[in-house]
Amino acid sequence: MGKLIKKEDAYYPDKEFKKRAWVKDNSIYKKANRDPIKFWDELARELHWFRKWKKTFKHEPPYFHWFTGGKINISYNCLERNLEKRRNKVALIWEPEPKNERERVFTYYDLYRQVNKFANSLKEMGVNKGDVVGIYMPMIPESLIAMLACARIGAIHTVVFSAFSPKALNIRLNQTNAKILITADGYYRKGKEMNLKANADKGSKGTKVKKVVTVRRTNSKIKKKKGDCYWDEVIEKQKDYCKPAEMNAEDTLFILFTSGSTGKPKGVMHACGGYTVQAYWTAKLIFDLCDNDIFWSTADIGWITGHTYSCYGPLLNGTTFVLYEGVPDYPETDRWCHIIEKYGVTTFYTAPTAIRMFEKEVGKVKENLKTLQLIASVGEPINEEAWKWFFKQVGKGNCPVLDTWWQTETGGILITSLPGVGPFKPTFAGMPFPGVQTDILDNKGKKVKANQKGNLVILPPFSPGMLRGVYKNPKKYKKTYFGEYGDKVYFTEDIAYKDKKGLVRIVGRADDVIKVAGHRISTGEMENIIDSNNKVAECAVVGIPHKIKGETPVVFVVLNPKKKATEKDILKLITEGIGKIAKPQKIFFVKDLPKTRSGKIMRRILRKFFTGEDLGDLSTLANPQTVDEIKKKIKK
Ligand code: WT7
């Protein structure tokens, strides 16, 4: 294994390191930037297509298309494409949370058969190409099998994070009109048995769901409604082969809901062709996947990282990867170290919030974790202390830290230094992926200078894996992503700057989205949920800094005259509306909220109470006296 060389404020891979890497020098950037469309065109050829595309890139602002005319199936590329060379190679190792249970191991051939069988089951249930199937499942192998089976027959999967509340599930099922929902009886989390089927039932009430398929995981008793069935019962009698649907490159592969500034979550749509190309190539070049690797991404399949790097990316590359059911610090704080040692993990992908938690709980890592070669982070900006701890204690100073920037909307990683090239500079995501053109603009659309903050944008030809729309909401697509700088510039809603060498550092969001333990939560959506209660006159939600979670929500509520409510009531609204992940750190009942003369709530001021920043000029407020009142409340 290679070593890292420190030059000034960053690390670079040495010769040994480059030897193993797919990309060894800068030439790939030069080549890709000369003609990004041709670059992706060449990459796409390495995958299996039933029919080659006619046009590589087509721009119809604000929409764009990749590989039109091409026919592809991602499940074929994940399974058949690997069968010849890797038939009996382990694809997936599943680690259950309870330590007295054994792991389950699937070879590529095992997975192939399971996916085919379940694809046939779906067909038997009447699922057709283009239908939407809901997946509300924990971190178990069947979740991945379900996703791949949908993809195999051309059904569109929409995965809903298992910790989301029934109401959150309900909104997503109703937006997509899913007729089938796949779930599990339960799962284990922190030693507790979670009853998922009960939530699935509550969430599918009042939707078009007519059949719920349940995987037996905890073997707990469930209520069986009309039309419900068990996974093992339907899959058992199915044939081992189901012909893969030949999908148009631009057909929708999946919809994944994510939070934006306002109101309801958006259904981000990803396309069969471009997404496959991007998932394959980013996983390969960024994680340097080769046949000896054991890859572990801790991301839940309910999020995009789980889709692309806990499922599709490693499978497309024929990699052996780990899927872990539970929380990484249960039952011991260093459970995650034991998993790395147990399976000899070479590549570990996790989030800053987990890294900070590990640092706090474990401090000095006793295990030598000597199999690790690459370690990576995603989801929110990683602070310098966490970066350095991760680098020294987990990577033992020998593994590059890849800080990977991307979004639900981008489908795959867009900014990170490549392992064989570097540099790895603490808190900097690094270089855009070859062929990806980014810029940092001021509010007028002018490029900012090095070290100056601005809005991070992505320029044509964007990248093949980026979203193709917002489900049933073209207006929102245009306004959110192509509304800031015209319909040819994708606005990421992130603030960033570049250093002199062009390395990108992400500062944070430009909108009302906060990152709570890596989860993307809209303060606007939380406000809507609280406001919808008739006791509440108005409210404001802001994200404040938190040592482990990065950010955490704080809620300010103004009640209607003569109405009473407790913190518990507000908490209930939020956990029922979204889930426990949005649980506020604090709820304050106040008489009034600071507002401008035009009536705009000044959330910035509310936030500053907690950051210790200067409150600034308050004279423009319509009601400056509220500031003191709130200050006193918080102090108490
Ligand atoms: C937002 C997207 C797709 C990965 C999982 C999150 C923030 C993501 C980084 C990073 C700084 C990051 C951005 C982005 N973010 N990765 N490496 N450094 N910020 O996907 O839930 O759609 O959130 O997460 O603000 O816009 P997501």
Residue 212 CB less than 6 A away from ligand 1: no
CA 99 vs. chain centroid, Å, equals 27
Task: Tell me, in angstroms, the distance from the centre of ligand 1 to residue 70's CA.
Answer: 30
**What is residue 71's predicted lDDT score, i.e. its pLDDT?**
98
Please say whether the beta carbons of 362 and 394 come within 8 A. no
Residue 261: is its pLDDT beyond 80? no
Report d(CA 395, CA 372) in Å as an integer: 7
Rounded to the nearest angstrom, the distance between the alpha carbon of 123 and the centre of ligand 1 is: 36
Whether the per-residue pLDDT at 133 is higher than 80: the answer is: yes
Which of helix, strand or coil describes residue 474?
A: helix
Nearest CA to ligand 1 atom 14: 407
Residue type (1 letter), 526: M
Decide if pLDDT at 14 tops 90.
yes
Cβ–ligand 1 contact at 466 (below 6 Å): no
Question: Of residues 542 and 260, which shows the higher confidence score?
Answer: 542
Summarised one tens digit per residue, pLDDT across range 274-321 is 999 999 999 999 999 999 999 999 999 999 999 999 999 999 999 999
Report the alpha-carbon distance of residue 394 to residue 403 in Å, rounded.
15
Residue range 401-422, pLDDT digits in tens: 999 999 999 999 999 999 999 9
Which of 286, 308, 350, 515 best tests ligand 1's pocket when mutated (most atoms within 8 Å of CB)? 515
Q: H or E stretch including 479?
A: helix 474-482
CA 55 – ligand 1 centroid, Å: 31
What DSSP character marks residue 262? S
Bridge partners, 588 (sequence order): 556
Q: Is the pLDDT of residue 264 over 90?
A: no
Residue with the smallest CA separation from ligand 1 atom 20 is 407
**Cβ(506) to ligand 1 under 6 A?**
yes
Place of tokens 């809603």: 493
Atom 5 of ligand 1 has which residue's CA nearest to it? Answer: 379
- Give the residue-averaged pLDDT of 164-171: 96
Quick check: 465 and 410 in contact, CB under 8 A? Answer: yes
Distance between Cα 395 and ligand 1 center (Å): 22
Predicted confidence band of residue 426 (pLDDT cuts 50, 70, 90): very high
Residues 95, 98: Cα–Cα separation, whole Å:
9
Distance of CA 31 from the midpoint of ligand 1 (Å)? 27
What does the pLDDT read at residue 462? 98
Alpha carbon distance 258, 267 (integer Å):
7
Residue among 300, 304, 404, 406 whose CB has most ligand 1 atoms within 8 A, to mutate:
406
Question: Would you place residue 585 in the very low, low, confident or very high pLDDT band (cuts 50, 70, 90)?
Answer: very high
What would you report as the CA-atom Rg of the chain, rounded to the nearest whole angstrom?
24
Query: Which two three-digit tokens encode residue 445?
Result: 């659309």
Decide whether any atom of ligand 1 lies within 6 Å of the 266 Cβ. Answer: no
Q: Quick check: CB of 299 below 6 Å from ligand 1?
A: no
Q: What is the mean pLDDT of residues 583-592?
A: 96
Q: How confident is the model at residue 444 (pLDDT cuts 50, 70, 90)?
A: very high
d(CA 107, CA 94): 12
Confidence of residue 380 (pLDDT cuts 50, 70, 90): very high
298: closest CA among 329, 322, 332, 334?
A: 322
Question: Which residue's CA lies nearest to atom 2 of ligand 1?
Answer: 407
- Which stretches of 177-307 are DSSP H helices? 196-204, 231-236, 272-286, 304-307
Render pLDDT for 545-559 as a digit per residue (tens, 0 to 9). Answer: 999 999 999 999 999
Average pLDDT over residues 507-511: 92
Atom of ligand 1 nearest to the CA of 299: 5
The whole-number average pLDDT for the span 591-597 is 93
Does residue 551 have its Cβ closer than 6 Å to ligand 1? no
Long-range contacts of 10-13 (CB under 8 A, 24+ apart): 10/422, 10/423, 10/424, 10/425, 10/428, 10/503, 11/400, 11/422, 11/423, 11/424, 11/425, 12/422, 12/423, 12/424, 13/400, 13/419, 13/420, 13/421, 13/422
Please indicate whether residue 379, judged by its CB atom, sits closer than 6 Å to ligand 1: yes
Ligand 1 atom index nearest CA of 381: 11
Mutual angle of helices 567-577 and 523-531, in 10-degree steps: 120
Q: What integer best gives the mean pLDDT of the chain?
A: 96
- The answer, yes or no, to whether residue 370 has pLDDT greater than 90, is yes
pLDDT of residue 636: 84
Q: What pLDDT is attached to residue 618?
A: 87
* Cβ partners under 8 Å of residue 279, min gap 6: 74, 308, 312, 313, 316, 411, 412, 465
Q: What is the pTM of this model?
A: 0.96
Query: Strand, coil or helix: what is 434?
Result: coil
Give the pLDDT confidence score for residue 154 in this predicted structure: 98
Q: Which residue's alpha carbon is at the smallest distance from atom 3 of ligand 1?
A: 407
Q: What is the mean pLDDT of residues 78-107?
A: 98
Contact between residue 154 and residue 242 where contact means Cβ atoms under 8 Å apart: no
298 lines ligand 1 (CB under 6 A): no
CA-closest residue to ligand 1 atom 23: 407
Residue 159 · residue 301 · CB < 8 Å: yes
Q: Atom 12, ligand 1: which residue's CA is nearest?
A: 380
pLDDT at 395 over 90: yes
- 262 pLDDT more than 80: no
Distance CA 25, CA 30 (A): 10
Whether 381 is in the pocket of ligand 1, judged by its Cβ within 6 Å, is yes
- Cβ distance 261 to 513 under 8 Å? yes
* pLDDT exceeds 80 at position 1: no
Q: Name residue 135's beta-bridge partners.
A: 159, 182
What separation in Å is there between the alpha carbon of 283 and the centre of ligand 1? 17
Q: Confirm or reject: Cβ of 407 under 6 Å from ligand 1.
A: yes
Q: What is the pLDDT of residue 619?
A: 83
- What is the 359 CA–ligand 1 centroid distance (Å)? 21
Pairing between β-strand 180-184 and β-strand 132-136 as defined by DSSP bridges: parallel
Q: What spacing in Å lies between the alpha carbon of 506 and ligand 1's midpoint? A: 9
Cα(268) to centroid(ligand 1), Å = 15
